[in-house]
Each structure stands twice: as C-alpha cells, then as structure tokens.
Amino acid sequence: MAFIKKVDQIMNAPAPGAPVMIKRDVHSLLETIESIYHIKDLDSLLERVLSEARSFVHADAGTLYLAVHKHLYFSYVQNDSLIKQGRARDKYIYSRERLEINKNSVAGYVAATGESLLIDNVYDINSDVSYSFNPAFDSKTSYNTRSLLVVPLITSDDVVLGVLQLINSKNEQGKVIPFSMQDKLYINQFARNAANAIEKAKLSREMVLRLVKLAELRDPYETSQHVKRVGAYSIELYENWAQTHGVSSKEIKSTKDTLHTASILHDVGKVAVSDIILKKPGELDRIEKLKMRCHTIYGARLFRYSSSPWDRTASEVTLNHHERWDGRGYPGKIDNIYATRIRFGPGKKEKEIPLPARIVALADVYDAQISKRAYKEKWPEESALQYIRMQAGKHFDPELANIFIKISDVIQAITQKYSY
C-alpha cells in the first residue's frame, strides 16, 4: 500500500504553473490496464490502447505504430481536431506508409533505442540530437503539432512491438501545453502492459488469419486483404449505426471487439467445399450452387460448442451473411444446421437477419464488386456505391445502405489501406 500511495502522489503532483486537470491516479491506471486485457480482437485493442492513453493525458491526437522487421507501420491514427471537422477518413491517411527504425525520426529513435521522448515543441528541437520532426502530416492536413510524448511498446521479453506517440496535450481551456513528467510516468507504465496485451492479441489474430489462409488455399478470392477490408468496413458501418441509435460507448466497444473477428471469418466455411466448385472458372450449375451455398452452414458449425459472445457473433455472421433484406437469400430458416441432410428453408428477411450479418453482407458484396475476379473485372468504386443505392431495401438493410453511402470517403480510405 505504501508503494501505491507513493506512486499516486508522484502521478498527481501538479507541475509548477500547470492548470488543474481531472484527477489522474494509480488506481485509474490499474483499471485502464485491466480493461485492455479483456479485449481479444487486435484492431479493437490497438484502437483502445491509443484512445485510453490519449484520454488519460488529455492528448488531442496520437499515432500507434507497429514494428515489422526494420520498419514502423502506421497502425492507428486518431485526431480529435480533424475528426470534429468531419474528416474521419484522415485516420487512414498514413496507414500505408512506414518509417525506418533508426535514430533519424522521432518514432524511429524511440523504437531503435527503447527510450521515451518528451518534446515541448516539435518545431524547436535541439540541434544536438539525431532525430527531427517531419512536418509532412501537418502540411497535408493543416494540423499544428506542438507537444509530443513518445514511448516504446516493449514486451516483458524486451521485444519492441511498436511505438505509442501522443500529440498536443491540452488544458481545460483547450490550449495546447507540454506533456508533463507525470504524463510520461503514466504512459510508460501503461505502454509496458499494453505491449503484453498486444502480443497476445497478435497471436490470436494470426490464428484467425491462418483459418483464412486455409480458405484461401481452396478459394483464391478469399484473401487476407479481402477479409481485412470487410472487417474494417463492418466496424465503421456498425459504429456509425450504433451512434445514430444511441448505443452506449461501452456496448459499442464490446460489439466492435467481437464483430471485427467474426467478419474476418465470414467465409471460413469454404474450407469444406470442393476445389472443383471453388476453382471452377465458369458459371456453376444448380447442384454446384447448392453445394457452394452450404459454406454458410459449414462455417456456423465451427462455432457449435462455445457460448462466448465472440463465437455467437461468428456463428450469426457465417450462417446469415448471404441472407437478403427482401427474403430471397440463403440458407434461410433451418430447424437444425447439424442435421445429416440439410434442406434450405424460406429466406430470412429484414430484422429476422441478425444485425452483424446484415452489416457483413453489405461489406462483403461491396468489396467483391470492387475486386477483380476470374469471371469479372473490378468495378469502379462509384459503380459499386451506386449498386448499394439500388439494392437498398432489396438485398441490403436500407438504413445500413444509407449509412454506408454517407461514410463512403472512409470506406474508400479503408480500400486504399488494404489494397492489393
């Protein structure tokens, strides 16, 4: 208890002349760390790590980089000032770019040395250090970066997984101020725990993508890039839908965690479909189409024995993502998907189809339209969006279709992030 009290005192001691802010203490730190350990989906975890760190030190913006070989990749970008201006797509603006892990850039220096950096003004960095600030993001977005707090994400085995960069601490009046030593102490402790949580989530994601790879061996169009795009579209679509329906922030975070992984696995049942059907270059005949459609049932059967929210969502999505709003989809209403002989029933319609499946149905069809296949050329994005408009109330939930069109700039940014 003496140790906790001491840390509490250090973290809450005000810096000279600093404004009075919301109380930050070691108990909040422990609660935040505990909350991130319950997140299973990697993308949900990375987004949460960045948002929780920013919230605790009142950072207007931030970037989470992941290390791959000798580079840092922009994994998540958050910026309250840009998002409030209706520029949600800007969080994907740098997602395809990377930095070398060396001592030349701020983030590269932190990854290379394992040292944290506290910079009061990025445009006034001492000339005797090796690193410098790159103003390209500011120029591209008209943002004004000033203060930085940059810490490494290092696991308990001393592996550098990435870098957490927090930008522009703000006081209660909204004025940009330097980050404090207390902020640095908190974020370093948080980052050490976050790195371990990320390491575990990466292992889980790798297992999920191995299942996708199995499906890809059978179906050449079921690629990891395709499912990553479908997953990202689904999360954006759900979050916008949930906000319009007044869903609590806690429920949104929980649902995003399960939906993202379930959407990645939407076609995993194709592993049980014959190669002759999956790789046939021409159109399938009636019997072949029926066998292909059984992949929805095969997929749902994989999640038979667990009662976890993740498995329930995965089962709903794999079974129902080919149902249609107008009831003309498949496999329809089936009494027992585990029966030896399966007969497709009348199609589920409208809200008989679970919301996660209605979301993934739209995301999957859109991505199929903008992707090249053996039997078709890829469609221009505007043509695919026009198809969504035309199929609202027919193939797709009309409310979801309208939201999808509304956030088309974000959808297109995701497409670029996970391009071929």
Instruction: Provide the β-strand partners of residue 153.
Output: 162
Whose tokens are 């995301």? That residue is 363
Answer for the pair 321, 357: CB distance below 8 angstroms, yes or no. yes
Q: Which residues of 313-343 are buried (b: 16+ CB within 10 A; e: fewer)?
A: bbbbbbbbbbbbbeeebbbbebeebeeeebe
Dump the DSSP string for 77-146: EEEHHHHHTT-GGGGGTTTT-EEESSSSBHHHHHHHH---EEES-GGG--TTSS-B--THHHHHHT----
C-alpha–C-alpha distance, residues 368 and 372, integer Å: 8
Answer for the pair 263, 360: CB distance below 8 angstroms, yes or no. yes
Q: Quick check: is 202 catalytic?
A: no
C-alpha–C-alpha distance, residues 230 and 266, integer Å: 9
Give, in order, the Cα–Cα distances in Å from 56 to each of 64, 99, 110, 166, 299: 16, 27, 21, 11, 41
Could you give phi then psi for residue 127, rounded to 5 degrees? -75, -10
Numbers of helices and strands, H then E, in the chain: 17, 7
Residue 222, both tokens: 């079921």
Residue 110, both tokens: 């932190």
Could you give phi then psi for residue 364, rounded to 5 degrees? -65, -45
Could you give phi then psi for residue 167, rounded to 5 degrees? -125, 135
Selected catalytic residue, list 270, 280, 289, 291: 270
Instruction: Give catalytic residue positions.
Output: 270
